[in-house]
Structure 1
Amino acid sequence: MSWRAHRKAATVISLSITLCALFYWQSNNIHFQTSSCGCGSCPKENEDEGSWFSKRFNASFHPLMSRNSSVLNEKASKWWKGLQPFQGQPDYRVVVEKLFKLIPDKEYYRDGSPDRCRVCSVVGNSGNLKNSHYGPLIDASDFVLRINKGPTKGFEQDVGSKTTHRIIYPESAVDVDNSTHLVLVAFKPLDMEWLINVFTTHRVKHTYTRVKSTLQANTSLIMVINPSFMQYVHEAWLKKNGHQPSTGFLTVVLALHICDQVKVFGFGANKQGAWDHYFERIPPSFKTGGHKGSFEYDMIKELDKRDQIEMYRGW
């Protein structure tokens, strides 16, 4: 064999070895190459097409409103406006135009990548948080999402002190500090009108009950849950059980959409099997409204069972 032939053969062999080595490296580092997040564990990437979770989770439904995403299709509009259809509701398109003159018109949290590891704690209000000592674990998360009026002062050892997002509706509103995102769940157009009014005219003082006419919050950090997202949660996740999703369950699904790992605290009954709040006593006759709490809780337990969330029961 000539010198040129030997050299050509050596080149071919060397190239083959390089390609084999590269294939082996890629095969053994496939998680690094295709990982959907930068955490050690990225639960959503472990789901196969057609799985229980994949049949419900739809990443195309972004939970937070922008001017562009505020346009509702006919089905979503009919569903949302039918939740609380009493008289005196403002025109949706008009109120949305006013809304985005007050709050930022942004596309939030579309930054998912193999470099991001966002850990979020969703903190409900169950009495099972009493004496749980979960406070430091909750505060260690990047985002801490609290629901309705659940306080932190005086309960820091069990519920933590950090709040990055406070999810409310008008009838459950509380003041928040200047660094917290106030996230409105609007069950009707009047709720958006109320949000505008608490920072402007202060004229909306009553919905189906008396509501705050002023509110302390940083308007540059205010967000609004998209009505289309609410319909998606009701149909895809709850299979239309209950009249509407609760703020608690909406917050859990919100976290699944904007976070890489989700920890859930303060949902379900206390150690004695009673459904109460960690900060107040609830009378036995208390009604939960238009949502089906038992079905929602079963869904949260199923998410925990399938390792999509980590659920902390306090007992």
Structure 2
Amino acid sequence: MRINLAPTVGYEEDAGSHTTHHFMYPESAKNLAANVSFVLVPFKTLDLLWITSALSTGQIRFTYAPVKQFLRVDKDKVQIYNPAFFKYIHDHWTRHHGRYPSTGMLVLFFALHVCDEVNVFGFGADSRGNWHHYWEQNRYSGEFRKTGVHDADFEAQTIDSLAKAGKITVFPGK
């Protein structure tokens, strides 16, 4: 499972090279190979309208930011993350810390519910507690915790608790 714009090329040692399901919201969407499932994570009603548009007419070009007008994915492999499951994660796991859970948390709990074993690569906070994307050189990565959109510290504690309980194995990478 891969999340948002996460690439594999150049990061195989830390993040693997195979992707079966790629979870994205419209603002992070990218074209996918035919053997990869596109899983839309809808954060708003417009996201559901966008996926229909991106696979057909291309009418929607902007949500709160520019989005891909057309999306090249296998239409038979398009799935939608259930908003009720999203709410379950927000209510029971992130307990309303932040406005909503990060896409990473949503995918982590999806994996915990459907997989026998969950190994996590290229995910979470760095040694200073800053959340960032492993492929970006973002000197403002600490800003993530200041936005209030997601509670990075609470999510990091949840990940740590899951790892200590043996529910997941976290591979921090380089």
TM beyond 0.5? yes
Once the two structures are TM-superposed, the CA of residue 201 in structure 1 deviates from its matched residue by 0.7
Choose the corresponding residue for 2:165, options 302, 306, 313.
306
Q: Among 20, 24, 44, which residue is 1:188 paired with?
A: 44
Counterpart CA distance in 1 for 2:60 and 2:81 is 20
- Checking the alignment, whether the CA contact within 8 Å between 2:125 and 2:156 is kept in structure 1 is no
Q: Are residues 278 and 303 of structure 1, via their aligned partners in 2, closer, same or farther at CA, if it must alter by over 3 Å?
A: same
Unaligned runs of 5+ in 1: 1-144
SS of the aligned residue for 1:228 comes to helix
- Tell me the CA shift for residue 313 of structure 1: 2.0
C-alpha separation between the residues in 2 aligned to 1:245 and 1:172?
Answer: 16
Q: How far is 1:279 from its partner?
A: 1.5
Question: Is 1:265–1:311's contact at 8 Å kept on the other side of the alignment?
Answer: yes
1:304–1:311 contact (8 Å) kept in structure 2: yes
Partner in structure 2 of residue 208 of structure 1:
64
SS at match of 1:261: coil
8 Å Cα contact 1:245/1:291 also seen in 2? yes
Residue type of the alignment partner of 1:199: L
Asked whether the 8 Å contact 2:40–2:79 carries over to 1, the reply is yes
Deviation by residue 1:147-167 (Cα, 9 ceiling, x = unmatched): 100111122232221000101
* 1:258 is aligned to 2:105: no
Q: Which string of whole-angstrom CA distances, capped at 9 and with x for unpartnered residues, describes residues 176-213 of structure 1?
A: 10010101110111101100101111000000011110
Partner amino acid, structure 1, of 2:31: D
Q: For each residue in 1:79-127, what CA deviation from the matched residue of structure 2 results, as whole angstroms up to 9, or x when unmatched?
A: xxxxxxxxxxxxxxxxxxxxxxxxxxxxxxxxxxxxxxxxxxxxxxxxx
Q: 1: CA distance between counterparts of 2:8 and 2:173? A: 17
> 1:52-101 deviations in whole A, cap 9, x for unaligned?
xxxxxxxxxxxxxxxxxxxxxxxxxxxxxxxxxxxxxxxxxxxxxxxxxx
Identity of aligned residues (%): 40
Give the alignment partner of residue 269 of structure 1, picking from 125, 137, 142: 125
Per the TM alignment, residue 272 of structure 1 is displaced from its structure 2 partner at its CA by: 6.0
Alpha-carbon distance in 1 for matches of 2:120, 2:158? 13
The structure-2 alpha-carbon separation of the partners of 1:300 and 1:225, relative to structure 1 and needing over 3 Å to count, comes to same
The answer to whether the 8 A contact 2:32-2:38 is kept is: yes
**1:198: which partner in 2?**
54
Q: Which gives a bigger RCO, structure 1 or 2 (Cα 8 Å, sep 6+)?
A: 1
SS in 2 for 1:278: coil
CA displacement, residues 24-78 of structure 1 (integer Å, 9 cap, x when unaligned): xxxxxxxxxxxxxxxxxxxxxxxxxxxxxxxxxxxxxxxxxxxxxxxxxxxxxxx
Alignment equivalent of 1:248, drawn from 84, 104, 119? 104
Structure 1-normalised TM-score?
0.52
Amino acid corresponding to residue 276 of structure 1 in structure 2:
H
Aligned residues: 171
Q: For the residues of structure 2 that align with 1:274 and 1:158, how far apart are their CA atoms?
A: 18
Q: CA deviation at 1:271?
A: 4.8
RMSD: 1.7
Q: Which amino acid aligns with 2:122?
A: G
Residue in 2 aligned with 1:167?
Answer: 23
The equivalent residue for 1:229 is 85
* Alpha-carbon distance, 1:282 to partner: 1.2
TM-score by length of 2: 0.91
Tell me if the contact between 1:267 and 1:297 (Cα under 8 Å) persists in the aligned partners: no
**C-alpha deviation, 1:228, in angstroms:** 0.6
CA distance in 2, matches of 1:243, 1:282: 23
Q: Is the 8 A contact 1:264 1:312 kept in 2?
A: yes
Correspondence list, 1:40-59, <5 A:
none
Contact 1:149/1:172 (<8 A) preserved? yes
Cα distance, 1:276–1:188 mapped onto 2, change above 3 Å:
closer
Please say if residues 186 and 225 of structure 1, whose CA atoms lie closer than 8 Å, have aligned partners that are also in contact. Answer: yes
